[in-house]
Structure 1
């Protein structure tokens, strides 16, 4: 009876708070601090502007969907009984599908200091495969969507093969596993996991594991400057990101790889699930970074207007760039790998007679200062916004629920 009254009270609170309203700002707005004077060298500022901004006119004025996926949808979830199920969600066992050493390692999968390199070692290079399985299993999505294990492991094997296509030092299956695991940490530690439907949870996990599929080890700028086939296919717009998500969907058509075979027509191929996956992967395009962060900063002036899908996109993006926020050993290891890819791109640009991209010249790049600039101008502002989302959106609901519980007792 206490639970019933508290849930009814929670519904009333959320109905009064979450209004479907959006405040728009230009996608390509850059923080004023970036154009001012600061300790970061000009080359690094140029890299930040080139990498994390976009001035394409076509992204302006784009109409929002008539049916926005706002945070008000959590009310509908409560009324349908989903919210209660999320709060008491139980992990499936599935022991027979994981090696014992991997099972033991996964006891810390909710930890921000989780060592995905060690997982890759003990799993014989199958970190992505096992993280994908573990997260789907953890949230009982394999059972709920009747995902055939044969198809799941076949699809995972194809994903790992696709990530190894160019033998990248950084953008490889270990990175994809790390992003998925970090996303899980954000969902669990924030409580956001309780707000998501099963379909939204599946979409987020799926987006995390495929977000860099068949990455070439070079940037979008390199593709456009060299007029690569991918750049021509996608008209220079989020070239790699469009390729990643397109490849992920295309893999589902390969033999024994259709993990969505038992999804109901209401779930997939539904416009919501497909749109969510596409939006989240495209949100990992670094050129959209400042616009994405500024738009959410504006939305947070009126937290009730924040769309859930925008928060989901920022969480994927934050998980993608997570390593400077991890402990030093992990951050240092990821940085060394990323620098290898940058320098290899610079070598290619030098051979082709192209201007070297920022931070890609192995002879002049200051790695330490570049990381300081990245942390100051990208990581900290991003995680500040993420914290504000969790505090301003989750906070009032949690506070009111606690007050309700106290009154009930």
Structure 2
């Protein structure tokens, strides 16, 4: 049976917000289990539901107890994160939640909570949730070509990712939303640095280097900090771009949303006389071709490298990605056949 259709993953519409230690009984068992699978459907969820489930994840990963988080501080942090996501077609709070949920899924399936340091898990979860905070819906290439204030502020070097981290740090600097307030003083700079580096790793310009760093590891050792760093960066990158590993009906919606955001940017680039980002050009890009190439050249190599060390992900992520690639290739063949018949 296809693991992506094994069980309905649509979350209930009435998930209540957990309070304190009551979270375990307030999230239905079916939802708690669905949350650990890539089939979980975030599309159409209301914000209170997502906040409730994020709170549940932090409890389940033992982050609240380990880092002595006050329940109200956690809720304020999550609410502040949600408020700092813009209403873009793709880069919005639903995307931030979906990346955090996919990471939670991977941690759960691979029992990484038992193999990583608690600070590693905390840094990854915060980075996954916050990695696109205040995203304006316009890429780094636009920021640089348009010479925006954001690009100038960060010397044209990963302006978006640096901004996402700056907003994250701003939230963590507020007393009411400081998730790290009870972290040991000697540990705090390390955790902040980890979060920053993971957010910066989501810039696609680092894709090749991060992929190679994991590919060069023959046997992953969780006692080797260089190995762990390579693993964490690969994980957050994979979770960030993993929508095609979700069921086809969900993946289609995510792809359409991303295309819409891309096309809006290319329209703006043309209107402003800026270089048009090739993979965003409304007049040239075809979804099936674009997604097939993205899966083939970026997503599959990343997932395959990860599965060498975390084989538990082969069925839940790698096989669905291969199926998605085949689906898009078949769609391309169909479109090509239709075009040929029209030319006859």
Which residue does 2:338 correspond to in 1?
A: none
Higher relative contact order (CA 8 A, sep 6+): 1
In 2, the alpha carbon distance for the partners of 1:153 and 1:310 equals 31
The structure-2 alpha-carbon separation of the partners of 1:266 and 1:344, relative to structure 1 and needing over 3 Å to count, comes to: same
Q: Is the 8 A contact 2:154 2:162 kept in 1?
A: yes
Mean CA deviation greater in 141-150 or 383-392: 383-392
Distance in 2, Cα, partners of 1:99 & 1:225: 51
1:273 matched to 2:199: no
The alpha-carbon deviation at position 294 of structure 1 amounts to 1.9
Contact 1:132 1:205 in 2 (8 A): no
Does the Cα contact within 8 Å between 2:51 and 2:78 map onto a contact in 1? yes
Matched with 2:59 is 137
Maintained 8 Å contact 2:119/2:191: yes
Query: Where does 1:255-266 land on structure 2 (aligned, <5 Å)?
Result: 255-266=175-186
Q: In structure 1, what is the Cα distance between the partners aligned to 2:220 and 2:250? A: 34
The question of whether the paired residues in 1 share the 8 Å contact of 2:19 and 2:71 is answered with no
CA–CA distance in structure 2, aligned partners of residues 140 and 221 of structure 1: 39
**Larger mean Cα displacement after TM superposition, 191-200 or 366-375:** 191-200
CA distance in 1: counterparts of 2:264 and 2:49, whole angstroms: 25
Whether 1:362 and 2:288 are equivalent positions in the alignment is no
Q: Cα distance, 1:130 vs. partner?
A: 2.5
1:251 matched to 2:177: no
- Give the superposition deviation at 1:246: 1.4
Distance of 1:127 and 1:347 partners within structure 2: 34
* 1:110 counterpart = 2:30: no
2:253 to 312, 333, 349: 333
Task: Show structure 1 runs of 5+ residues with no match.
Answer: 1-91, 393-409
CA contact (8 A) 2:124 2:195 kept: yes
**Counterpart check, 1:154 vs 2:76:** yes
The TM-score with structure 2 as length reference comes to 0.79
What do the CA deviations read for 1:72-123 (whole angstroms, capped 9, x no partner)? xxxxxxxxxxxxxxxxxxxx995645995777523311111111125x2xxx
- What CA distance in whole angstroms lies between the structure 2 residues aligned with 1:220 and 1:131? 31
Deviation of 1:365 (Å) = 1.5
On the 8 A contact 2:145/2:275 being kept in 1, the answer is no
Q: 1:93 to 1:251 in 2, by over 3 A?
A: closer
Gaps of 5+ in 2: 1-17, 313-344
1:286: how far off? 0.7
The answer to whether the 8 Å contact 1:199/1:273 transfers is yes
Q: 2:263 aligns with which of 343, 358, 365?
A: 343
Over residues 340-369 of structure 1, what are the superposed CA-to-partner deviations in whole Å (9 max), with x where a residue is unaligned? Answer: 100110111011011211122222221110
**Using a 3 Å threshold, how does the CA distance of structure 1 residues 99 and 330 change in structure 2: closer, same or farther?**
farther
Following superposition, the deviation at residue 299 of structure 1 comes to 2.8
Shift of 1:251: 1.2
Taking only aligned residues, the RMSD between alpha carbons, in angstroms, comes to 2.3
Residue of structure 1 aligned with 2:305, choices 385, 403, 408: 385
Partner residue, 1:353: 273
Deviation, structure 1 residue 297: 1.3
Give 1:289's match in structure 2, choosing from 188, 197, 207. 207
Q: In the aligned structure 1, how far is the partner of 2:22 from the partner of 2:81?
A: 22
Counterparts of 2:166 and 2:210 in 1: how far apart (Å)?
22
C-alpha contact (below 8 Å) 1:110/1:185 kept by paired residues: yes
Give the TM-score of the pair, scaled to structure 1: 0.67
**1:216: Cα distance to partner?**
1.1
